[in-house]
Amino acid sequence: MRRSLAVFLAVTGVIVIFLIHSVYTLLTLLVEDGSADAIHSAEIPAPNSPLIDNMPQYIPKIIHQTYINESVPEIWREAQRTCIDIHEDYEYKMWTDAKSRELIATEYPWFLTTFDNYSQPIQRADAIRYFVLAHFGGVYIDLDDGCNRRLDPLLSYPAWVRRTAPTGISNDAMGSIPQHPFFLTVIESLREYDKNWRLPYITVMYSTGPLFLSVIWKKYMSSGSNIGDGAGGGRVRILMMDEYNRYPWSFFSHHKGSSWHGKDARLIFWMGSHWMMLTVMGFLLAGVVGFGLWWVWGRMLLLGQRRTKRRDGGVWERAMGWGWRGGKGGYELTERHPV
């Protein structure tokens, strides 16, 4: 029995270790708040402050945005104009589907097959933003993000992304110098994460979207690469929610968007807002399943032992000449064999 228990615990332990290893990065994201690399309010001069002129500029003055073609829907034009109008000295690049594919085909042909084979157009829109930041540098801004103030202070950090809720980082506003090691890691990881998870929302989020970016960010930090400020450093700074869009002095203002979300997104959003409860329920379910497996394992061992005893007992009885005659007498000597 002890040996069987040891075997069961060993097998169960291997399965648990495998499952934890498979989702370890996702689990660690639940407790990662990005505070160690946060861009604090105290670091950011007020709009139009002369202190801005004393800050170094690492990121080039380029604003990148993406859409199917040049005809941006009216719902996003106001947000688009706010970013263009207050950054008249910035280069503006609108990455249409055609221009995006041309850049990939010309500069990154190794990725063209993956780019063309994405099942959702938003996956190509996600991917191209990583490539243009790695290639040209600059600031990427989603069309549903308007600009409250000039982005000059954010050019002082070689790479930055923004914190999102409930955990991780988002890809709707990002900045980088050309060839920053983090965004090079991101584009190199896209093919590895190109998997179909059946639900479109999960597929997008984990292949090219914010969840994918968050996982790569977490692995990047774990690898020891997230160190060093300045032009040659590898650190990625985090724009927190207050600095992102919560106040009039924040950098961005959010407009209606996310038009690509399907019906399956409702479930995912609900899960995201109840992640703590679902995590606890998951551990409880794992405990119940483990106990059930142990109970089944124990019953199987018990039945096996009973059958073995009966079989072994019958062999011994026949060998000694004892047999069952029935009735109240039970066993009696029926034939003795020479031993």
| pLDDT tens per residue across span 109-138 | 999 999 999 999 999 999 999 999 999 999
Average per-residue pLDDT for the chain: 84
Which of 69-78, 89-98, 115-124, 324-333 shows the lowest mean pLDDT across its residues?
324-333
More confident residue, 172 or 282: 172
Alpha carbon 200 to chain centroid distance? Answer: 15
pLDDT at 92 > cutoff 50: yes
Q: Residue 21 pLDDT > 50, yes or no?
A: no
- Residue 172 Ramachandran class (φ > 0 left, ψ -120 to 50 alpha, else beta): alpha
For residue 56, the Cα-to-chain-centroid distance in whole angstroms is 32
**For the whole model, what pTM was predicted?**
0.75
Band of pLDDT at residue 16, cut at 50, 70 and 90? low
pLDDT tens digits, 143-199: 999 999 999 999 999 999 999 987 899 999 999 999 999 999 999 999 999 999 888
The Cα 175–Cα 234 span in angstroms is: 13
Strands (E), the chain: 38-39, 62-66, 91-95, 138-141, 145-147, 159-163, 169-176, 237-239, 252-254, 322-324, 331-333
pLDDT(264) > 50? no
Q: Give pLDDT tens digits for 41-82.
A: 999 999 989 999 999 999 999 999 999 999 999 999 999 999
Is 63 within 8 Å of 83 (Cβ atoms)? yes
- Asked whether residue 310 carries a pLDDT value surpassing 80, the answer given is no
- Residue 302: pLDDT band (50, 70, 90) is confident
Q: How high is the pLDDT of residue 263? A: 45
Inter-CA distances, 196 with 14, 26, 187, 306, Å: 27, 18, 18, 48
Separation between Cα atoms, residue 61 and residue 237, nearest integer Å: 18
